[in-house]
Amino acid sequence: MKKLLLAAAITAMCATAFAAGKDLKVAIDATYEPFTFKTADGKPTGFDVDIANALCEEIKRTCVFVEQPWDGMIPGLLAKKYDVIISSMSITEERLKQVDFTDKYYNTPSKIVLKKDIKFDGPASLKGKKIGVLKASTQEKYALGELKTVGVEVVSYDAQDQVYLDIKAGRLDGTVADTLEVTGGFLTKPGGENYQFVGTELFIPKYFGTGAGVALRKGQAELKGQISAAIKAIRANGKYKTINDKYFKFDVYGK
């Protein structure tokens, strides 16, 4: 009996060690600079990627990044193509019906961006204009709910960088995007100097949720707890600040 108990204990210890050290498949959409994008040699990088690696280090796992177009993110998670999504996915009531989220790891607003010669006096003043948004994003939800209803043509794209290409080509009048992403991915790049933010910061919970969290399948309470604890840990031990300051000049954790 003692031998059986000892064997069971060793098996359990080995299983725990394996679970702690195994890969964590992380879905990313690498078209969202400075949060997730690629280096010149094709490697994923950005704030989300660095945060993911820091979280994996805390829970003693190894991040393996899986590239996924944005509108297929949740379907891919539910199909078990990867374990989690760490790619600036906002925690919204609609998404919580399908997946679980950890605590937030950042919260920044979105805004409308228009060409500088377009006069803006509220959403209704954009009637007849064409606004590009990322498909299945919170910005798309806002645009459909607040802009399309006043006569704005909302055009959805598979990737945010495609929106910027069409803006530069004159096929769009502007976009709705995360303020930090559109600054790093468009406004500070060649051609972006002709565009500007208009209106107020958009923190509307019914569209934009309560910040970006790590998405995972329902029923993974242990992993959810581990990652939420890891977020608190990197906030406390300085790792979060180091990553934050690499990309931003203020604390993007938000309220």
- 19 and 103, same domain (yes or no): yes
Is the same domain home to 131 and 72? no
pLDDT per residue as tens digits for the range 141-160: 999 999 999 999 999 999 99
Q: How far is CA 69 from CA 25, 29, 88, 137, 174, in A?
A: 15, 6, 13, 12, 22
CATH of the domain at 142: 3.40.190.10
Distance CA 145, CA 156 (A): 14
Q: Would you say residue 19 has pLDDT above 70? A: no
Evaluate whether 143 touches 176 at the Cβ level (below 8 Å). yes
With a cut of 90, say whether residue 11 has pLDDT above it. no
Mean pLDDT, residues 7-15: 43
- The bridge status of strand 130-134 relative to strand 153-157 is parallel
Residue 18 clears pLDDT 70, i.e. is over it: no
Tell whether 254 is covered by a domain: no
Say if CB 207 and CB 142 are below 8 A apart.
Answer: yes
- Give the C-alpha separation, 167 to 171, whole Å: 6
Residues 236, 144 within the same domain:
no
With a pLDDT cut of 70, the percent of the chain lying above it is 92
Average pLDDT over residues 224-241: 98
Q: Which helix or strand (DSSP H or E) is residue 177 part of?
A: strand 174-178
User: Looking at the predicted structure, is the pLDDT value of residue 210 above 50?
Assistant: yes
User: Are both 199 and 224 inside the same structural domain?
Assistant: no
| One domain, residues 120 and 203 | yes
The answer to whether the beta carbons of residues 1 and 41 sit under 8 Å apart is no
217 occurs within a structural domain: yes
Q: Confirm whether 255 is domain-assigned.
A: no
**Average model confidence (pLDDT) for the chain?**
92
Is 239 in the same domain as 161?
no
pLDDT one-digit tens code per residue, 107-120: 999 999 999 999 99
Residue 53 covered by a domain: yes
Range of weakest confidence among 77-81, 201-205, 237-241: 201-205
| Residues 103, 214 share a domain | yes
**Residue 230 sits in which domain range?**
2-107+210-247
Q: What is the reported pTM?
A: 0.85
Same domain, 142 and 28: no
Residue 33 placed within a domain:
yes
The side-by-side arrangement of strands in the sheet containing 23-28 is 62-67, 23-28, 84-90, 212-216, 100-106
46 and 93, same domain (yes or no): yes
Beta bridge partners of 131: 154, 174
Helix (H, G, I), strand (E, B) or coil at 235: helix
pLDDT for the residue 8: 44
Residue 96 has a pLDDT of 98
Q: Are 24 and 61 contained in the same domain?
A: yes
Q: How many domains does the chain have?
A: 2
Residue 255 has a pLDDT of 76
Residue 96 structure tokens: 């919580």
In a domain, 142, yes or no: yes
Asked if the structure places residue 252 within a domain, the reply is: no
| Residue scoring higher pLDDT (11 or 172) | 172
CA distance 46 to 38: 8
Residue 166, exposed/middle/buried by CB under 10 A (0-12, 13-18, 19+)?
A: middle
253 domain-assigned? no
Q: Is the pLDDT of residue 10 over 90?
A: no
Question: Do 173 and 215 fall into the same domain?
Answer: no
pLDDT above 70 (res 5): no
Q: Is residue 126 located within the same domain as residue 90?
A: no
> Based on the number of CB atoms within 10 Å of its own CB, is 200 exposed (0-12), middle (13-18) or buried (19 or more)?
exposed
pLDDT tier at 4, thresholds 50, 70, 90: very low
175/163 Cα distance (integer angstroms): 7
What is the tens place of the pLDDT at every residue in 55-77? 999 999 999 999 999 999 999 99
Of 12-21, 156-165, 225-234, the range with the lowest mean pLDDT is: 12-21
* pLDDT for position 16: 41
What is the pLDDT averaged over residues 225-230?
Answer: 98
Burial 70-98 (b: 16+ CB within 10 A, else e): bbbbbeebeeeebbbbbbbbbbbeebeee
